[in-house]
Amino acid sequence: MSSSQDADREAALVAAVRERPAGQSVPQALHRMLLGEHSRRVHTDPRFDDFLRLIDTTPALREYARRMWLRHEHALAAAIADDAGLPADDPGCRALAHFALEAPVLVRGSRDPDTALDRVFDLLGNGWPGTRAG
């Protein structure tokens, strides 16, 4: 990935927060952005699954790709904090940014990654369901 693509990706993450429609939560905006990015990649290049498989089966590549993706965490957390009127180092904003960025990694390899991503963002947006049933 070129540095301009990397900068574009970070700008898209920040824009998802700052330019989201009225009434849309930050987790909903990030979910929509990441779901769209995933769909575009999968459908535009038939070799993408092979590329992901290579990354997933090579520990050094897997860790490098994760570090490269997570380096957007600071900028995303700052945008979330700014949007919420909270300090830039707010732990809740940092956690939301971190887990939103981890979501695509967590669902990769799922039978239905889109549904798995929905599940992760449901948790981020609504929290863990109450107590255990009966």
Evaluated on CA atoms 43, 123, 55, 9, the torsion sign reads: positive
pLDDT digits (tens, 9 = 90+) for 100-120: 999 988 888 789 988 999 999
Neighbours of 103 (CB within 10 A): 23
Count of other CB atoms within 10 angstroms of residue 81: 20
Instruction: Quote the CA–CA distance of 126 and 27 in Å, as a whole number.
Output: 9
The predicted pLDDT at position 22 comes to 95
pLDDT digits (tens, 9 = 90+) for 27-59: 999 999 998 875 555 556 677 778 777 877 888
CB atoms within 10 A of CB 73: 18
Give the CA count within 13 Å in the CB-facing half-sphere of 41.
15
User: Which DSSP letter does residue 40 get?
Assistant: H
Q: How far is CA 97 from CA 74, 111, 117, in A?
A: 8, 25, 15
